[in-house]
Structure 1
Amino acid sequence: MAKTDSTGSTWRYRWAHRQNERRHRTYRSAEAAWRRRDDELRRLRGLAADLQGSAAAGAGLPLELAPDEVVLWVWPAAQLVEVRHTAVLPAPDLTVHPEIGPPRTRRPDGIRVADAGTAVITSRRLVLLGGRGRRDWAYGKMTGLAHDPAAPVTLIQVLDRRRTSGLMLPADAAADFRFRLTLAFADAIEQRATVLDQLDELIAEHAELKPFRPAVATPGQARLSALVPGGRRTVAIAAALALLVPAVLIESGPSDPAGVRAVAATPGVSPSAVPALIRPATAPSAPAPSASPTPRKPKPTASPSSSAERRCGAPVNPMGYDFCGGYRIRKPAAETCDHFDCAQEFWAGRGYLVQCRDGVVSLTGGSREACAGHRGVRRTVWT
């Protein structure tokens, strides 16, 4: 026997069942995506804490190590790439960008493959042992480093080489290569703790985004609009048509072709019904004397307002800084404090831009003392 409510109907139970199925599908999909990123962040955190190289890891490689040099990672399938045109890369930094999916495998335009061989990350340099020789990129001579976000290509500039070059790895190995290279560079400048702090912050921020289990829909929450195919949207369209069609007829007149076209183009109106809709109920009156048409003033077009900009609660500012996401700001513009409430000793900070819990912004993001005296970090400022 089918379940019924107090009115003896079953449609409310069917509606509740469909709603619960839809809510749980959405929740399971969101939770799976959240868990994948959480697992990846925690994996990187463990790798950053435990990664220790050894000279034995490079056994069998035609590479002579310095007395204090150790091998951190080896990958046998890498390609040496060179940039055809001169390019200026951003300075190396310690920003971690966890990637959930592998990038595309197509080589970017303007990049040519010059050699192939084994990539080796040591505590002092990145090395390619290729078929045409060896290529070294010493961390102490790096002036530029860039990871292509859409392709597994990493480009490097060093002081002793004019041409920009780098490595292209298989797509499934690119993320690990980039992270280990960041750790090796951090060790070279004695800043691994900064990477650990950054990962701790990313894990804490991600924990706050965990999706909540949806509430259970009950038959009593069903509305009569659920009986109409399309639900509330269909009811809203029908109400809009009820107001739109008379207005079109009044504006155009019974013999105006534009009115016919407007009514025929209205969603939900059958073309066969157009003659009946525009047929006059009474005989048309005599045409009024023609008068010189009065030009209508064009309606001013609404310009994009600053309230529609993507800021996620950040104050209006010409720099484009927001709380939505993007890239961390380590060198803020000089006019930052004209638009944000800056903390005391703001320009003495050595980190990236964050907003503290009391509302001020500070340049101490990524450090253990971030927003000290301001109740801690609330969120990151992005560009």
Structure 2
Amino acid sequence: MAKTDSTGSTWRYRWAHRQNVRRVSTFRGAETAWRRRDDELRRLRALAADFQGSAAAGAGLPLELAGDEVVLWALPAAQLVEVRHTPVLPAPDLAVAPPSGPLRPRRPDGVRVTDAGMAVITSRRLVLLGGRGRRDWAYGRMTGLSHDPAAPVTLIQVLDRRRTSGLMLPTDAAADFRFKLTLAFADAIEQRPAVLAQLDELIAEHAQLKPFRPAAATPAQARLSARVPGGRRTVAVAAAVALLVPAALVESDPSDPTGGAEVAVAATPAPSPSPGVAPVLVRPAVSAPAPRTSPKPTKAPRPSPTASRDPRCGAPDNPLGYDFCGGTRIRRPATEVCDWFDCTPEFWAGRGYLVQCRDGSVSLTGGRSNACAEHRGVRRTFGK
């Protein structure tokens, strides 16, 4: 008869209930992150298809436009920045991938603010209408363009200016500014279709990453380790202690008065005799101590604790073949990984490789700056 609690439910049913709650929570977190990214990519695709300006949009601005020049976008809160040490910036490209992390409202080292005003993107140039004057960056004269991945700063190099300069915008407007500047530059070089094709490819790749609803856990899948407080981790620690304690006792066995010397001498082969000379058997002396002038016998090698170490190098027992012994990093774990390991709440939303956090949970954020941030950091990396 199965052991039951006061509510009448067996421990297997309680285990299945906890597993299903955790799986559903993990799936919903991953699905929310996936939908957020999908909505952003589709918004950018629609914006890229309909992005255009008009001469009327520049009405009221203290900016003289050329005959075929139109205003595409304007932001009243922008700062002009300059770099003390001029770097070599990469050439402008048409990359439209959103930033990997949130931007911080800070000014990078070596960058100083020299003016503030309104940033205007036109079909021919980027303009800052500042309090000290106007600063232009014509698309046709751009030689370098760089967006800071951690700060809302965009640096630009042009042919007719020696010092590198650019704009610093509010963090909530930086991503929109960068995308629209890329569209304006693409129009200037007649490459708008390339931007649309890139967005279509990103949407198709992201559709393949849509998380699947996990299968429901059944009471029959519960293991006996679920009845132990701490689960598989407690069983693994107990097994390791059970293997290491006998090895430690063998190393410190006080019942061997010879300290293993007799075994060592008996195991040491005698030198090969010369031809024609009968071999002499050497019997180790046990009762009489060896003279002080004789060489000290070599002790037998002590058993190493690592000989009895788990072949998975401390990883829990699992049929997936995952261990801590090195090997190839696991970036696409099996769908049943959370059946064998204690996954973090938003496991499937991770974009890295499989790691174990310091609190024992398993995360898919290896290789990222925020890996296991809410679980005391990364402890070990899984391999296969």
Band the TM-score falls in, shorter-chain normalisation:
0.5 to 0.7
Query: What residue in structure 2 maps to residue 117 of structure 1?
Result: 117
1:147 and 2:152 are equivalent in the alignment: no
Which protein, 1 or 2, shows the higher relative CO under an 8 Å CA cutoff with sep ≥ 6? 2
Where 1:22 maps in the other structure, the secondary structure is helix
- 1:291 Cα deviation from its structure 2 partner: 2.1
Structure 2: gaps spanning 5 or more residues: 262-289, 302-324, 333-350, 353-384
Number of residues paired by the alignment?
275
**One-letter code of the match for 1:156?**
I
Mapped contact 2:225–2:232 kept (Cα < 8 A): yes
1:194 aligns with 2:194: yes
**1:241 maps to 2:241:** yes
Distance 2:12 2:326 in 1: 44
Matches within 5 A, 1:153-302: 153-251=153-251, 253-254=252-253, 285=257, 291=296
Give the 3-state SS of the residue equivalent to 1:112 in structure 2. strand
User: Counterpart of 2:190 in 1: which secondary structure?
Assistant: coil
| Bigger Rg, structure 1 or 2 | 2
8 Å contact from structure 2 (residues 101, 150) kept in 1: no
> Percent identity at matched positions?
78
Secondary structure in 2 matching 1:117: strand
For the pair 1:83 / 2:83, whether they are aligned, the reply is: yes
Give the superposition deviation at 1:240: 1.6
- Superposition deviation, residue 70 in structure 1: 0.5
**Alpha-carbon shift at residue 249 of structure 1 (Å):** 2.1
Contact 2:146 / 2:156 at 8 angstroms: preserved in 1?
yes
Give the secondary structure class of the aligned counterpart of 1:160: coil
Matched residue of 2:193: which SS? helix
Deviations along 1:294-349, one digit per CA (max 9) or x if unpaired, are 899xxxxxxxx99648999xxxxxxxxxxx99xxxxxxxxxxxxxxxxxxxxxxxx
The 1:247/1:56 distance shift into structure 2, 3 A limit, reads same
For residues 343-358 of structure 1, the aligned pairs below 5 Å read none
Aligned residue for 1:151, secondary structure, equals coil
Deviates more, 1:223-232 or 1:38-47: 223-232
Q: Secondary structure at the match of 2:211?
A: coil
Residue identity in the other structure for 2:147: H
Distance 1:40 1:295 in 2: 68
Partners of 1:190 and 1:11 lie apart in 2 by 66
1:6-21 pair list within 5 angstroms: 10-21=10-21
In 1, the alpha carbon distance for the partners of 2:20 and 2:229 equals 18
Output one character per residue of 1:3-50: Cα deviation in whole Å (capped at 9) or x when no partner: 979xx8611111111001100111111111111110000000000000
Cα distance, 1:222 vs. partner?
1.1
Report whether the alignment pairs 1:105 with 2:77.
no
Aligned residues of 1:82 and 1:112 also touching (Cα < 8 A): yes
CA-based RMSD of the aligned residues comes to 2.8
Q: Distance in 2 between matches of 1:80 and 1:308?
A: 47
* Distance in 2 (alpha carbons) for counterparts of 1:310 and 1:149: 26
CA distance in 1: counterparts of 2:45 and 2:157, whole angstroms? 28
**Whole-angstrom CA distance in 1 between matches of 2:108 and 2:135:** 21
Shift in alpha-carbon separation, 1:186–1:306, aligned structure 2, 3 A: farther
User: Quick one: distance in 1 between partners of 2:221 and 2:237?
Assistant: 23
Report the 3-state secondary structure (helix = DSSP H, G, I; strand = E; otherwise coil) of the residue aligned with 1:77: strand
Q: 1:311 to 1:89 in 2, by over 3 A?
A: farther
Amino acid of the structure 2 residue aligned with 1:291: K
Q: Structure 2 CA distance, aligned partners of 1:145 and 1:294?
A: 70
| TM-score (norm. length: structure 2) | 0.67
Alpha-carbon distance change, 44 to 21 in structure 1, aligned in 2, over 3 angstroms: same
Give the C-alpha shift of residue 101 in structure 1. 5.4
1:381 corresponds to: none
Aligned to 1:64: 64
For the residues of structure 2 that align with 1:59 and 1:209, how far apart are their CA atoms? Answer: 45
**Which letter does structure 2 place at the counterpart of 1:107?**
R
Contact 1:153/1:167 (<8 A) preserved = yes
* Alpha-carbon shift at residue 221 of structure 1 (Å): 1.4
Q: What amino acid sits opposite 1:143 in the alignment?
A: T
Q: Distance in 2 between matches of 1:4 and 1:82?
A: 72
Residue 346 of structure 2 aligns with which residue? Answer: none
Which residue in the other structure is 1:49 paired with?
49
CA distance in 2, matches of 1:15, 1:112: 59
Q: How does 1:29-48 map to 2 (within 5 A)?
A: 29-48=29-48
Q: CA separation in 2, counterparts of 1:220 and 1:4? A: 15
Q: 1:222 & 1:121 partners in 2: Cα distance?
A: 61
Q: Is the 8 A contact 1:45 1:200 kept in 2?
A: yes
After superposition, the Cα gap between the structure-2 partners of 1:24 and 1:51, relative to the gap in structure 1 and judged at 3 Å, is: same
Does the aligned pair in 2 maintain the 1:4–1:13 contact within 8 Å?
no
Relative to structure 1, the CA distance from residue 307 to residue 234 in structure 2 (aligned partners, 3 Å threshold; closer, same or farther) is closer
